[in-house]
Amino acid sequence: MTSHFIETNGIKMHYVKAGEGPKLVVMAHGFPEFWYGNYNILQSFIGSKEYTAVAPDMRGYNLTDKPGEVKAYQIKNMVDDLAGMVKGLGHEKFSLIGHDWGGIVCWVLAIVHPDLLEKFIIINSPHPAIFAREMRENPAQQAGNSYTQMFRAEGSEAKLTANDFEILVTMMMSEGLKSGVFTEKDKKIYREAWSRPGALTGGLNWYRASAQYGYGYDIKDFSVNVPTLVIWGMDDEFILSSNLNGLDGFVPDLTIQEVEGATHWIIHEKPDLVNRYIKEFLSRN
C-alpha cells in the first residue's frame, strides 16, 4: 500500500493505493472511519495486475482537507470529490465500494452519474429513498438513527472527545475489542485520526449538512442503473435490515448478500467473506 495526495474539486485529498491494474476500484468510508476503515478490502488488492484500488480519506477526515463551512459537506460536494479524483487518476470509468456515510455518497453518485460506473458495491448503507421511507414509517429505524441528533448538535465535539473519545470507541469497537475484531493498535490509530485538527468537526459536518442542505441535487428518479451488489450485516443496530425491503424496485440489476451474525462493522468482522463477495462480483461478466 502506498500513500498519495491529489487535487480534486478544490481540495487536496489523501488516498492509499494498492494494485497496479488497468481497472480502478474506489472505496468510500463512513463515520467515524477514514481510509483505514477499508484496510482489509484494500489489502486484498495488493499485487493485483487487474485492478488499482484506492481508499481515500473523504472530505473532512484525517489527512484530507477540512473546509470550515457546514455547506461544504453537502453530498454533491463529496460526489464531485470522488468524480474529480477518478478523472485526475486518468480514468473514465470505475467500480465503487461504499460503507455507511460513504455509501450514501456512493448511492447518490450512482443515481446521478451511472455512466461513470462499471460495478457498484454497497455495504450497510441505505438507499436514499428507502431510508426516507424507513425514517417516516418505522419507529425502530427512527430509534436506530437517534444518535445523529447528538452528532449534529453544537458542541458535540466536546462530548465525543471526552475521555479519549470514549463514546466513539464504545459505539464502534466495544464488542470488537472483546472479540479481537479490533486491536489496541487499531484503537490507537483511530484516536490519532480523530485527534487531527478539524477532523472530528469535519466528520460531524456531514450530519449537519445533511439536515440543513440535503443532497444538493433535485433528484426525480432514484433508480440505480448499474450492476449492484449489496452486502448487509443483518445485526446492524443503526441501519436496520428493513432497508433492504423494496430495494429491487430501485435497482434492477441487484445482488444482495445477507450476512447473519454481522453488524454495521461487517467490513471488520467478516473481512474474508466481504472480500470474496467483492472479488466474485467484480469478476462477473
Say which amino acid occupies 260.
Answer: E
The neighbouring-strand residues paired with 52 are 24
Closest to 201 measured CA to CA, from 89, 59, 88: 59
Q: Could you say which of 190, 207, 215, 277 is catalytic?
A: 207
Q: How many CA atoms lie within 13 A of 199 on its CB side?
A: 20
Say which amino acid occupies 154.
Answer: E
Coil, strand or helix: which one is 195?
Answer: coil
Q: Could you say which of 65, 80, 81, 100 is catalytic?
A: 100
Residues 6+ apart with CB under 8 A from 137: none
Q: Could you say which of 29, 99, 127, 264 is catalytic?
A: 264
Q: Mark whether 100 is an active-site residue.
A: yes
Copy the grid coordinates of residue 195.
485527534
Closest to 37 measured CA to CA, from 53, 56, 24, 19: 56
Q: Mark whether 15 is an active-site residue.
A: no
Q: Mark whether 4 is an active-site residue.
A: no
Distance CA 33, CA 29 (A): 6
The residues annotated as belonging to the active site are 100, 207, 264
